[in-house]
Amino acid sequence: MREKLYFVRLPLLLVALFFVGRLTLGAAGASYEVGNRLFSMVILQTHLALLWAAVGRRYRGYRLGEGVQTAVTIVLVSQILVSTATAISYLAGISVSEPRWLRGPAGWWRTA
């Protein structure tokens, strides 16, 4: 496992950079759309999970299970960062949610 953590240092650095970039944009008052366009964690996780598993297969000789372990490690660290930041924001009383993304625009369920 230590070797896999050593191998995923670059993807984890990218996750950390995207995380800090997303936090910085949010603190600067940028809209959700701008933050998501520039620093989408889901798209980054998907690309890193797929590509880094393939890189491991090509250059490290990883089999399917080892590639999956690499992808899960990258996504798990990213989700831990997001969950921790969410918990800290709730505990600190910082209002950073966009409830309209959960509800949708007014009247979106009505089709004429």
What pTM did the predictor assign? 0.74
Residue 105, CA distances (Å) to 97, 102, 109 in order: 15, 9, 9
Neighbours of 70 (CB within 10 A): 25
Question: What average pLDDT does the segment 41-59 reach?
Answer: 90
Q: At what angle do helices 41-55 and 64-92 cross, to 10 degrees?
A: 160
**Mean per-residue pLDDT of the chain:** 83
pLDDT surpasses 80 at 25: yes
Q: Give the span between the Cα atoms of 48 and 97, in whole angstroms.
A: 26
Q: Give the model's pLDDT for residue 100.
A: 56
